[in-house]
Amino acid sequence: MFENLSERLSGVFDRLTKQGALSEDDVKTALREVRVALLEADVSLPVARDFVKAVQDKATGQAVTKSVTPGQQVVKIVHDELIAVLQGEGEPGALRIDNAPAPILMVGLQGGGKTTTTAKLAKRLKDRDNKKVLMASLDVNRPAAMEQLQILGTQIGVDTLPIVKGENPVQIAKRAKTQASLGGYDVYMLDTAGRLSIDEELMAQVEAVRDVANPRETLLVVDGLTGQDAVHTAENFDSRIGITGVVLTRMDGDGRGGAALSMRAVTGKPIKFVGLGEKLDALETFEPDRIAGRILG
Ligand code: GDP
């Protein structure tokens, strides 16, 4: 799992004499390699810098264990620290959906995978948690997106709110709430409109929907392959709307996962799920361990 970085680090440590404890210089040299590995995994520079500093403080003076090489030992410290940063509070993937009907607001940019993820999550809630779920599309400017959600709903056996022409997103959200209450739904999911980039109109619309729906969870869906852009998107949505968690999509791609670390470090919000493909069951609970392995390469 750690071959890449381990190899680099053993090269560094081969040149050093064996000592009883990791010296400050040993650690510094090793951490230069760690920083390169983080930057190559698309972790932002300030986050990589802070991270390396934290590891340096932890590693300096640690006794060298006999069973592993100093290089492996530094990798282990880095790995544990990555997990500490990536880990959110509570159960991974847990959602606050106890009081029925619980609203979940899905937000994000167009093309990030929001509609697909709404359906994936609805399917998961239905199949694994036995929840009765209603989905509603609020994307009034793109009738195709509304129809897409309906089609997905049929595929997974989850109800969608009937489409009524001429309504605005706030009206749809209110109708979803009423329908969810009357129909005895446990959860209703609001799939908000996406834009190609963040603009005032989009934010104002999502904000208005948030205010009427009072969501228990506001999940930002972002393309995990977009690296730093995903982090900027998260910062923007969090400061304006307030998100409770993140879903990183396209993690089946060959990205190195650095966005996950930057995302956690910058927004402080947990990554709850990862999308691992186009299929509707390709959604998994976020596992810090796996991402740490990917970042280390
Ligand atoms: P939206 O505009 O944000 O609602 O995006 P969509 O849900 O329509 O998704 C855009 C495209 O990304 C679709 O072709 C999806 O099948 C695809 N997609 C979504 N999530 C994933 C994922 O986790 N992995 C892969 N490979 N494709 C995904």
Q: What's the gap in Å between 130 CA and the centre of ligand 1?
A: 25
- Gap between the Cα atoms of 42 and 48, Å rounded: 9
This complex has an ipTM of: 0.99
Q: How big is the chain, counted in residues? A: 297
Q: By alpha-carbon position, which residue is closest to atom 14 of ligand 1?
A: 278
Q: What's the gap in Å between 102 CA and the centre of ligand 1?
A: 25
Determine contact, residues 194/116, Cβ cutoff 8 Å: no
193-221 in b/e form (b: 16+ CB < 10 A) is bbbeeeeeebbebbeebbebbebbbbbbb
Q: Decide: 108 in ligand 1 pocket, CB within 6 A.
A: yes
Q: For residue 262, count other CB atoms closer than 10 A to its CB.
A: 26
Q: Which pLDDT score is estimated for 171?
A: 98
96-108 in b/e form (b: 16+ CB < 10 A) is ebeeebbbbbbbb
Per the structure block, which two tokens stand in for 27?
């650690």
Q: Which pLDDT score is estimated for 283?
A: 97
Mean pLDDT by 10 residues, the chain (297 residues): 58 57 76 85 89 87 70 82 84 87 97 97 97 97 94 98 96 98 98 88 95 97 90 94 95 82 90 95 93 81
Determine contact, residues 117/296, Cβ cutoff 8 Å: no
The verdict on pTM exceeding 0.95 is no
Q: Decide: 111 in ligand 1 pocket, CB within 6 A.
A: yes
Q: By alpha-carbon position, which residue is closest to atom 9 of ligand 1?
A: 113
Q: Which pLDDT score is estimated for 294?
A: 81
Q: Which pLDDT score is estimated for 2?
A: 41
Determine contact, residues 295/284, Cβ cutoff 8 Å: no
Per the structure block, which two tokens stand in for 272?
């709850």
- Gap between the Cα atoms of 246 and 249, Å rounded: 10
Q: Decide: 233 in ligand 1 pocket, CB within 6 A.
A: no
Q: By alpha-carbon position, which residue is closest to atom 16 of ligand 1?
A: 278
* Residue of 220, 254, 278 to mutate, ligand 1, most atoms within 8 A of C-beta: 278
Q: Which pLDDT score is estimated for 3?
A: 46
Q: Which pLDDT score is estimated for 179?
A: 98
Q: Using CA atoms in the order 185, 88, 291, 48, what is the torsion angle rounded to 10 degrees?
A: 140
Q: Which pLDDT score is estimated for 28?
A: 83
Q: Which pLDDT score is estimated for 9?
A: 67
DSSP β-bridge partners for residue 274? 248, 284
Q: What's the gap in Å between 278 CA and the centre of ligand 1?
A: 6
Known binding-site residues for GTP equal: 108-115, 191-195, 249-252
- Pairing between β-strand 245-249 and β-strand 159-160 as defined by DSSP bridges: unpaired
Q: Which pLDDT score is estimated for 106?
A: 98
Q: Decide: 277 in ligand 1 pocket, CB within 6 A.
A: yes
Q: Which pLDDT score is estimated for 1?
A: 36
Known binding-site residues equal: 108-115, 191-195, 249-252
DSSP state of 21: B
Q: Which atom of ligand 1 is nearest to the CA of 253?
A: 26
Q: What's the gap in Å between 124 CA and the centre of ligand 1?
A: 17
